[in-house]
């Protein structure tokens, strides 16, 4: 009789075990973890010395948003420098490029507009050319419901941020968000967007970059947020979506972005933030939508939807473990010298710092409590392999 073959672990299985082991050791040493990382120095230094020539509006957004979450602000000189720099990125025909003189791109347009709104004030907000922006968004619109990210490319993807800048992808989420923020969203821009997003919801329940591909946390957040802004969220298969989401929080306590992938701190926002949207959206699940018939306009004011939505009372209890998520972010992702990283063994960066802090803020708000040192009893339930 032949001896039975010894199972060989796959690369993914070995990586998962390695991450679990590192996380387990960190949780065991919880009592000795440093408590005062210098985020402000790290983030403001990035604003002054960005080395990302084609994505600098993103660096502005990530760092300004992170500072805002920490209750920090930038001085008047740095604020003026940022406004001046972004004005040089603005194309005369609308939209913002990744740097001065670069072609306008939906993803960097989103980052620039969000940066200026975060700064606030007349000088920042008046620097945005709203009329040309509307023409730019119309030019990028495609009959399929997608949007061109650049004038020469039709790639109707969602854009959860940095990863999309690399691949020159953009889509409905960035365009609809910018239009909503600037109060220029109308039924022409909305036309067919909902149908496109519905075609991207997968058999798992999450939302993918395009029809027929894998559900992904970033695309899921962008798809759900967009459907809320265009008043069509309850056309999604929400029970199946929630079922997929709840299984993305793993034994490490953090979220992963896709099925059978490793934990990553940025998904504390992309996945956790989707839960936050659904907590407010649940009151609309049984609401009949006003759908255009025969080419008639929507009978809703799109520009009020986003603002009214965030003011809505939360109807649903948290559907993920917020305290466990805080544990992962504070102990496994935080760097002693400021900033946050993907997972143990990786390096900090502004992208992960921004979205990990966003996820942490959401976890604290939704859980109604923050992690205290006495919560170390939670560590006992984590088995180190």
User: Residue ranges per domain, the chain?
Assistant: 51-140
Q: What is the pLDDT along the chain (385 residues), one digit of tens a residue?
A: 455 676 788 888 888 888 888 887 877 776 555 555 667 777 777 776 656 667 899 999 999 999 999 999 899 999 999 999 999 999 999 999 999 999 999 999 999 999 999 999 999 999 999 999 999 999 988 888 888 776 544 333 344 433 333 222 247 889 999 999 999 999 899 999 999 899 999 999 999 988 888 999 999 999 999 999 999 998 999 999 999 999 999 999 999 999 999 999 999 999 999 998 988 876 555 443 343 434 444 456 776 777 777 777 776 777 899 999 999 999 999 988 889 999 998 999 999 999 999 999 999 887 655 555 444 333 333 332 2
C-alpha torsion sign, points 303, 222, 239, 368 = negative
Of 56, 216, 341, 343, catalytic = 216
Please name the residues in contact with 72: beta carbons below 8 A apart, sequence gap of 6 or more. Answer: 39, 40, 43
Active site residue 266: yes
Of 44, 240, 251, 261, catalytic = 261
Active site residue 304: no
Six token digits for residue 265: 């701190």
Q: How far apart are the first and last CA of the chain?
A: 33
Active site residue 258: yes
Of 60, 266, 332, 354, catalytic = 266
Give dist(CA 235, CA 253) in Å, integer. 31
Burial of 210 (0-12, 13-18, 19+ CB in 10 A): middle
Active site residue 216: yes
Active site residue 261: yes
Give dist(CA 202, CA 38) in Å, integer. 41
Q: Is the distance from CB of 103 to CB of 150 less than 8 angstroms?
A: yes
Q: Is the distance from CB of 230 to CB of 191 less than 8 angstroms?
A: no
Of 258, 341, 343, 366, catalytic = 258
Active site residue 282: no
Of 200, 332, 342, 343, catalytic = 342
**Residue 261 DSSP symbol:** -
């Amino acid at each position: 009789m032949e001896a039975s073959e010894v199972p060989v672990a796959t690369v993914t299985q070995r990586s998962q075990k390695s991450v679990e082991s590192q996380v387990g050791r960190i949780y065991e040493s919880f009592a000795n973890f440093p408590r005062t990382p210098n985020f402000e120095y790290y983030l403001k230094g990035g604003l002054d010395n960005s080395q990302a020539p084609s994505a600098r509006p993103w660096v502005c957004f990530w760092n300004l948003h992170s500072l805002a979450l920490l209750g920090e602000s930038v001085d008047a000189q740095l604020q003026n420098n940022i406004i001046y720099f972004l004005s040089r990125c603005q194309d005369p025909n609308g939209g913002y490029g990744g740097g001065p003189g670069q072609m306008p791109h939906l993803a960097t347009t989103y980052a620039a507009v969000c940066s200026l709104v975060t700064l606030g004030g007349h000088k920042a907000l008046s620097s945005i050319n709203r009329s040309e922006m509307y023409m730019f968004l119309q030019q990028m619109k495609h009959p399929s419901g997608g949007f061109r990210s650049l004038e020469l490319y039709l790639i109707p993807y969602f854009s959860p941020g940095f990863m999309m800048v690399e691949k020159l992808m953009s889509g409905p989420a960035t365009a609809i968000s910018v239009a909503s923020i600037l109060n220029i969203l109308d039924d022409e821009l909305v036309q067919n967007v909902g149908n496109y997003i519905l075609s991207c919801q997968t058999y798992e329940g999450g939302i993918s970059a395009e029809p027929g591909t894998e559900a992904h946390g970033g695309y899921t957040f962008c798809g759900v947020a967009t459907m809320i802004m265009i008043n069509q969220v309850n056309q999604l298969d929400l029970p199946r979506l929630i079922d997929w989401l709840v299984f993305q929080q793993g034994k490490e306590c953090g979220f992963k972005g896709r099925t059978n992938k490793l934990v990553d701190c940025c998904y504390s926002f992309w996945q956790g933030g989707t839960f936050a949207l659904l907590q407010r959206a649940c009151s609309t699940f049984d609401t009949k939508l006003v759908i255009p018939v025969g080419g008639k306009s929507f009978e809703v004011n799109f520009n009020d939807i986003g603002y009214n939505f965030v003011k809505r009372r939360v109807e649903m209890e948290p559907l993920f473990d917020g305290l466990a998520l805080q544990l992962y972010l504070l102990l496994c992702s935080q760097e002693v010298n400021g900033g946050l990283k993907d997972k143990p063994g990786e390096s900090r960066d502004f992208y992960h710092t921004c979205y990990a802090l966003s996820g942490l803020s959401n976890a604290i708000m939704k859980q109604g409590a923050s992690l205290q040192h006495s919560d170390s009893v939670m560590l006992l339930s984590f088995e180190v392999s």
